[in-house]
Structure 1
Amino acid sequence: MDELTRLNAEMRLRGFSPMTIRNYTFFVRKFLENAGKPAAELDESDVRLFLANLVDTKSRSTLMLASASLKFFFNEILGKRIEGLPTPKREKKLPEVLTREEVQALLNAVKRKKSRLIISMLYSTGMRVSELVNLKVEDLNLSERSGWVRAGKGAKDRLFVLSDALAEELEQYLKERNKSNGYVFSDDKPLTPRNVQKIIKKARVKAGINKKVTPHTLRHSFATHLLEQGTDIRVIQTLLGHSSLTTTQIYTHISREQLKSVKNPLDVLLDLEKAKDSSQTEQMEQTEENTDNENLAAR
């Protein structure tokens, strides 16, 4: 059994998601091809050289994924402990978020019912694209306006909630196709994430949205709009399937609307001063009026 076969088998035994298995296998294969020597002769210096060659052309998130892939490969498959790899720091970027108007424009740009349902589902539930393409009819409870993501990230099931309108559209869609089981959005095999990305890209172009829009953008938008509506962040954490509240706090960054709604302390100070001046002016005017009235009465 070669190293890649052993790697694949070990990840499946540990319940890694299909996407993680693909990503880890990709980086380990590239590493072995570039190393050009037997796995038994590989060591940490080879890993460092491989990662160094990625620094100038790949994002930090890609470097982190490559590093994690190779660390798992060495530690768990080759039995060679490597602990000293530098971990590239995450880029601190605010996620791209659509406004409600942009989400509506995206939906309006789609004519095919299935494509519209896919976009609606991503925005309505905040699920990941890998979860959406594997969603099955059996996981839906349309009468309760809910459903289950089975073995989501971290191999955990979680509940999601559907809007009334989306539940009705899904019910009609499934009835038209006489589907009572199997994948919701495909037949024998699940859609690929790439299929979904193409649907969203086509809708974005047609809607004239000048932002990068991906399935994850809709997940960000779902979380941010809930936050703007005043939804408790712990509820959002549960809906997103985050094990850590810290992750949710980063993911659902403070929205622009919330930032704009914060009263600047200088404005508060000036408003108090204006109120004070206004009160003093009113008192002076009242005093003058009372004095005038007294003078008139004295005449």
Structure 2
Amino acid sequence: MKTLNRELERYLSIRRGLGYKLNTDERILRRFIEFMEQEEAAHISTGCFLRWKEAFGHANTQTWSRRLTVVRIFAQWMHGIDPRHEVPPQSLIPGHVRRSRPYIYSEEEIKMIVEAAAELPSRNGIRPLTYSTFFGLIAVTGMRISEAVSLNVADVDLENGVVAVRKGKLGKERLLPVSTDTAERLVAYAVERDRLNESTPSAFFISDHGERLDACAARYNFAIVCQRVGLRPVQKFFRHGRGPRIHDLRHTFAVRTMLNWYRDGKDPAQEMIKLVTYLGHEKPAHTYWYIEAAPELLELASRRAEESAAREVES
């Protein structure tokens, strides 16, 4: 079993060196290997994966399809080292993985989330200050949660209102100009954070303990806030429950930006490259997906296409 853990470290190191973000993959693989240790299984097998799935607990098909893919890639790596490792077939979990339709927050819901985050309990006042600012920044910039937690103090130009994303998807960097109101809120957060914290942090967003904010903790606190404002059902035993996600703040930003283009009479084809760049998407198709995912956007796009076709006929 030591060999599996040693090879996992090497596997993660090499793939991260290629630009992959593997935090979720790492958690999945470590839990799978822990299960193998409990079974005293020396080699990966389809049967072992199925028993792990049975013991793991409830999750939807999409989630298990994702976990299977993660285990399969690692199993392929291990099979190349030792053929006794079996690669579970992709057909083990049938069904095509589909992107979930995003939840689009109303302005009032975002306001409730930020205000509820500002009421979170804290031992020194940093937790509510951090999360209200953190959720608000994602809502007005569309940043990924991984990008927001990775921000350092030096990445946020408080004087010029520019946020530098150093650790974007696949290692890409980009600059995000923010509005005057957002810049002022970030300045206020930085001042109060430094006043409450005993030492000068390198991370821009910190926890009550003065450490960099963790993505898992951010998702947990977001779930708690959503339960308090009625966007998720209240859960026992500190469970997240089901409902709108923090990542849907990014979706909301993208959809509302596009909606404003149509309402202002702008040409989405000309504006799209700006949004693609701002969001840090690898391909424009990833941004155009929002048109199909949001019914109101699809209706506006269809109407615009019909009007354009009618003008061409008239001319």
TM-score range, shorter chain: 0.7 to 0.9
Measured in 2, the distance between the counterparts of 1:263 and 1:223 equals: 18
5 Å matches for 1:148-297?
Answer: 148-178=164-194, 182-186=202-206, 189-209=211-231, 212-230=243-261, 232-251=271-290, 253-259=292-298, 261=300
Give the CA deviation at 1:123.
0.6
**Which of 147, 151, 166 in structure 2 is aligned with 1:131?**
147
Measured in 2, the distance between the counterparts of 1:237 and 1:54 equals: 41
Percent identity of the aligned residues? 21
Give the CA deviation at 1:92.
5.1
**Which of 104, 125, 148 in structure 2 is aligned with 1:97?**
104
Give the CA deviation at 1:201.
3.2
Residue type of the partner of 1:158? R
Say which SS state the counterpart of residue 160 (structure 1) adopts.
strand
Q: 1:85 is matched with which residue? A: 90
Range with greater deviation from structure 2 (123-132 or 254-263):
254-263
Q: 1:35 to 1:251 in 2, by over 3 A?
A: farther
Give the CA deviation at 1:50.
5.3
Give the CA deviation at 1:196.
1.8
8 Å contact kept, 2:158–2:183: yes
Q: 1:24 to 1:195 in 2, by over 3 A?
A: closer
Residue type of the partner of 1:29? I
Q: 1:180 to 1:38 in 2, by over 3 A?
A: closer
Pairs aligned (count):
263
Q: 1:160 to 1:28 in 2, by over 3 A?
A: farther
Say which SS state the counterpart of residue 105 (structure 2) adopts.
coil
Residue type of the partner of 1:19? N
Q: 1:144 to 1:48 in 2, by over 3 A?
A: same
8 Å contact kept, 1:7–1:77: no
Q: 1:201 to 1:93 in 2, by over 3 A?
A: closer
- Determine whether 1:117 maps to 2:118: no
Measured in 1, the distance between the counterparts of 2:99 and 2:189 equals: 41
Give the CA deviation at 1:3.
0.8
Measured in 1, the distance between the counterparts of 2:53 and 2:117 equals: 43
| Unaligned runs of at least 5 residues, structure 1 | 269-299
Q: 1:30 to 1:88 in 2, by over 3 A?
A: farther
Rg bigger for which structure?
Answer: 1
Give the CA deviation at 1:136.
0.8
8 Å contact kept, 1:200–1:215: yes
Give the CA deviation at 1:185.
1.6
Give the root-mean-square deviation of aligned CA atoms.
3.5
Give the CA deviation at 1:208.
3.8
Q: 1:73 is matched with which residue? A: 74
Q: 1:273 is matched with which residue? A: none
Q: 1:156 to 1:258 in 2, by over 3 A?
A: closer
Q: TM-score, normalised by structure 1?
A: 0.72
Measured in 1, the distance between the counterparts of 2:33 and 2:227 equals: 36
Residue type of the partner of 1:194? C
**Which of 17, 21, 24 in structure 2 is aligned with 1:20?**
24
Q: 1:197 to 1:57 in 2, by over 3 A?
A: closer
| Unaligned runs of at least 5 residues, structure 2 | 119-127, 234-242, 262-267, 308-315
Say which SS state the counterpart of residue 147 (structure 1) adopts.
strand
Measured in 1, the distance between the counterparts of 2:35 and 2:289 equals: 32
Give the CA deviation at 1:26.
3.3
Say which SS state the counterpart of residue 242 (structure 1) adopts.
coil
Q: 1:34 to 1:50 in 2, by over 3 A?
A: farther
8 Å contact kept, 1:122–1:219: yes
Residue type of the partner of 2:296? E
Q: 1:293 is matched with which residue? A: none
